Amino acid sequence: MRIFICGFGTVGQGFAEVIASRRDFFDKRYGERAIIVGAMDSRTYAYDPEGCDPLGLVERKKATGRVGETEYTDSVEVLKGIEYDILVEVSPTNVETGGVGLLNIRHALESEKDVITVNKGPLALKFRELIELAKANSCKFRFEGSVGGAMPIINLCRENLRGESIMSIRGILNGTCNFILSKMDKGQPFEQALKEAQQMGYAETDPTNDIEGYDSACKAVILANSIFGRDVTFKDVKITGITSITEEAIAMAATRNMVIRLIAEISDTKLEVAPRLIPKGHPLGITGTMNTAQIVSDLAGPVTVSGRGAGRIETASAILSDLVAIMDERVVG
């Protein structure tokens, strides 16, 4: 299988490292390698139809800031000119237009290529269109890492719980907000907790997407569409972020043995992100940067999962699981 990676930052490089570390696994399972034929960053790309050395790509990016020697201006034109089987789309998320990720994914599916992405923008805006495009072109389109990073949730619901009726999902889908709220539990004011999250590298310089609940809302949309079969977009989510949570509210919750957490709630009829009171000790009362979700299905009842919601290798682990699922079908059959 020939893989091309769009976006060679934290996740793209982590995925290249994971592919390098799993060479024996692919050899043994399929008798063939998963080859990275190239990668693209914002200005350059590398391409070798025989396969690039994944660690060489990472080294070059780290040393020069460029993944390849060839400059480009239009990523779709680059895709048109190369041979590959699977596009791994990990360029920056744009929740207003879908960004370059949407263009890349659309083009790859139209060209009958399989796609794996963790880029939330295209999924939160154009889910139905992309799923139908994949179906029309007999392509695999997978996106496990777009919600919860390494925490298995989409494939868990669609594959492990297959045949069940999923009634609801409630989850903490943004580690930055949870870190801030956990610090506020200990008496820190919001602004100070946010500053610490930024110093630790959990929150971006502009933290709006996280603290206003937009990032959680994108993930809620992906779960609503992929697990509940809904046809919703970002604008359908009722969103309240964490910026107006006061120290007094946190203290008041504590007197009732509760904590406040930013919870995404998804069901056939619900699509909401808002701060909720959670009893201390409940799985959704988790502290720190972890993600967690409680899935309720008709036969299994409540199933709780948690895991690292972000990170170079953690997110790459979700991409690997999608890659293996695709190769199981394409290579093993």
Ligand X SMILES: NC(=O)c1ccc[n+]([C@@H]2O[C@H](COP(=O)([O-])OP(=O)(O)OC[C@H]3O[C@@H](n4cnc5c(N)ncnc54)[C@H](OP(=O)(O)O)[C@@H]3O)[C@@H](O)[C@H]2O)c1
Binding residues for ligand X (CB under 6 A): 6-12, 40-43, 75, 90-93, 100, 118-120, 145, 149, 310-311, 315
Q: Give the nearest residue (CB) to ligand X.
A: 9
Q: Cβ closer to ligand X: 97 or 192?
A: 97
Which residue in 80, 219, 270, 280 is the catalytic one?
219
Strand order in the sheet with 166-172: 238-239, 271-279, 258-267, 166-172, 290-297, 301-308
Given a contact cutoff of 8 angstroms between Cβ atoms, the answer to whether 294 and 283 are in contact is yes
Least Å from the CB of residue 165 to ligand X: 28
Pick 53 or 204: Cβ nearer ligand X: 204
The CB-of-65 to ligand X minimum distance in angstroms stands at 7
Residue with tokens 């603290």: 211
Query: Is residue 28 flagged as an active site residue?
Result: no
- The β-bridge partners of 276 are 261
Smallest gap from Cβ 24 to ligand X, in A, equals 26
**Cα separation, 203 vs 179, whole angstroms:** 10
Which of 92, 189 has the CB closer to ligand X? 92
Among 86, 124, 70, 150, residue whose Cα is nearest residue 264:
124
Between 120 and 170, name the residue whose CB sits nearer to ligand X.
120
Cβ closest to ligand X, residue 169 vs residue 250? 169
Taken in order 225, 97, 90, 195, is the CA torsion positive or negative? negative
Shortest Å distance, C-beta 120 to ligand X = 6
Residue 237 to residue 90: CA distance in whole angstroms: 24
Taking each helix axis from N to C end, the angle separating 10-21 and 23-30, rounded to the nearest 10 degrees, works out to 60
**What is the SS3 assignment for 261?**
strand
State the nearest-atom distance from the C-beta of 311 to ligand X, in Å.
5
Could you list the active site residues?
A: 219
